Amino acid sequence: MMKRFLTVFAITLFVVGCSTNKKKNNLNKVFRYNEASNITTLDPAFAKDLRTIWATNQLFNGLVQLNDSLEVLPDIASSWDVLNGGKTYIFHLRTDVLFHKHPLFGSDSTRTVVAEDFVYSFNRLKDPSVASPGKWVLEHVKEYRALDSFTFKVELHEPFPPFLSLMSMRYCAVVPEEAILFFKDKFRSNPIGTGPFQFKLWVENTKLVFRKNQQYHERDQEGNRLPYMEAVAISFLSDKQSEFLQFVQGNLDFLNSIDASYKDDLLTTDGSLTERYKNKIYMMRGPYLNTEYLGVYLDSEEDEVQSLKIRKALNYAFDREKMILYLRNGIGTPAVNGFIPKGLPSFCNMKGYDYQPKIAKELVKSYMEETGAREPSVTISTNSQYLDLCKYIQREVEKTGLNIEIDVMPPSTLRQTKVNGQLSVFRGSWVADYPDAENYLFIFHSDKFSPNGPNYTHYKNKDFNKLFETSIQTVDKKERQKLYQKMDSLLMSSAPVIPLYYDEVVRFTQKNVRGLGMNPINHLSLKRVKKL
């Protein structure tokens, strides 16, 4: 009897063990992450925010792609020629790129991507009836056409060196005409692309699933077809604390955010993992092409912000290193240089505005003597997410004799009033759409005044404009970088902005995740990810 019992017990353990191992093996084939902000579309023509870019990056390809060093590499275009002094681009397409399988393509369930598909995709991007927020990426393009099935020509109005970087954006991904004509507006939830994963299931606000594209064109160095993972599963927990708990419990493979609700539990004040987690999870950090700043509306009716002395005093009056250490747990780099952030080759190590409280006091005193103002005051407008930073700046600046008021408003109100020039000083951030310093400097050209452009400060300088116009026609990278640095220096001397910090990408993964990578534009690529 005992022998029979032991035999049954052993079999039970074996079955349970096999079931557990099978479940573990299946999980090791699925990459799981959460998107707290939700996703509203999977159409690359509307990939204007990071959450949509991440998702569509798994489903679609363009002519070129960026690696983690932000170098432009081939994608559907295997190579290209740049002619006519940088005005003409001839892209030579791969002949083995297939659209995801779907009955729309007939008996073969798929077809090869050809140059005419890029003509159609670009036409769609520009179509007013589509109303894509990404149509601006083609504003430098004069014309484009298919020279043959696998040769695509693009002609620019004038040379524009960042053009290839622009082509790496998801806006420029290729889409099949058959799918757009069939699904129309519903293509947003029925995407068909060429990417390493293909669409499987979307229960909106609950779960999104992609499956491995068995016919994906890219291979690794050993010749193995990418991707390695069988599936990607995206959940939509809106509560950051719940997301964090799911991650530490091992139910998510990746965490990309640091929220106030758990940052002190996760990180030490110097930005390292706390003892509780340092042996359980893995952390990566590096430069992020995002400059956080206070902007000054130079057409404001407030006399204080019209004064260069007050703007410089604001820049000198607070310690950015302390601010990052105590309010951001060491995440970020003090913005004591220019507006161009670390992570770009054009980053300038010039001396900007560091902590000089004595100079700040002297500037405020000089302003008061010149104007007769007894209680000069400046209002800083922000949303609640950055209230702690603004309160810190308030405390420090008021030591100079300049009063600071803080106006807290919803993010949508802040955006709208900023665009309409109703705020004298506002908290802002500028995240790069593409990895070129032109993306940070064009927002200060006088042709870009808000509300018709992103020059929210209404900064105007003829010398800056001339340097900018020269730079975008300068093909030589080193010469262009020098021009960018001159513009950045000129900008800082006028102080229409108070740079706060250059942000960092911070990623947390489970210990078994390999090959995730990281880049300064914080894009997510899962085609080379493995789980051990």
Residues 135-159 have pLDDT tens digits of: 999 999 999 999 999 999 999 999 9
Q: What is the largest CA-CA distance in the chain?
A: 103
DSSP letters along 402-450, please? -EEEEEE--HHHHHHHHHTT--SEEEEEEE-SSSSTHHHHGGGSGGGBT
Query: For residue 267, what are its two tokens?
Result: 């990180």
pLDDT band at 347 (very low <50, low <70, confident <90, very high): confident
The pLDDT tens digits of the residues spanning 302-318 come to: 899 999 999 999 999 99
pLDDT at 20: 53
Residue type, 26: N
- How many other C-beta atoms can be found within 10 angstroms of the C-beta atom of residue 415? 15
Supply the Cα-derived Rg of the chain in whole angstroms.
26
The pLDDT tens digits of the residues spanning 2-46 come to: 455 455 555 555 555 555 555 556 668 999 999 998 899 999 999
Task: Give rounded-to-5 percent helix, strand, coil for the chain.
Answer: 35, 25, 40
The pLDDT tens digits of the residues spanning 373-413 come to: 999 999 999 999 899 999 999 999 999 999 999 999 999 99
Q: Alpha-carbon distance 398 to 252, whole Å?
A: 45
Outline where DSSP puts E strands in 28-166: 30-34, 64-66, 72-74, 77-83, 88-93, 141-148, 151-156
Please, is 293 exposed, middle or buried when counting C-beta atoms within 10 Å of its C-beta (0-12, 13-18, 19+)? buried
The alpha-helical segments, DSSP class H, found in 194-306 are: 240-248, 263-266, 303-306
Tell me how far CA of residue 211 lies from CA of 21, 31, 136, 208, in angstroms. Answer: 22, 10, 32, 10
Backbone phi and psi for residue 385, each to the nearest 5 degrees, phi listed first:
-65, -30
The pLDDT tens digits of the residues spanning 250-290 come to: 999 999 978 888 989 999 988 899 999 999 999 999 999 99
Query: For residue 15, what are its two tokens?
Result: 């079955």
Element (H, E) at 200: strand 197-203
Query: For residue 37, what are its two tokens?
Result: 């902000």
The pLDDT tens digits of the residues spanning 46-91 come to: 999 999 999 999 999 999 999 999 999 999 999 999 999 999 999 9
In terms of pTM, does the model score above 0.85?
yes
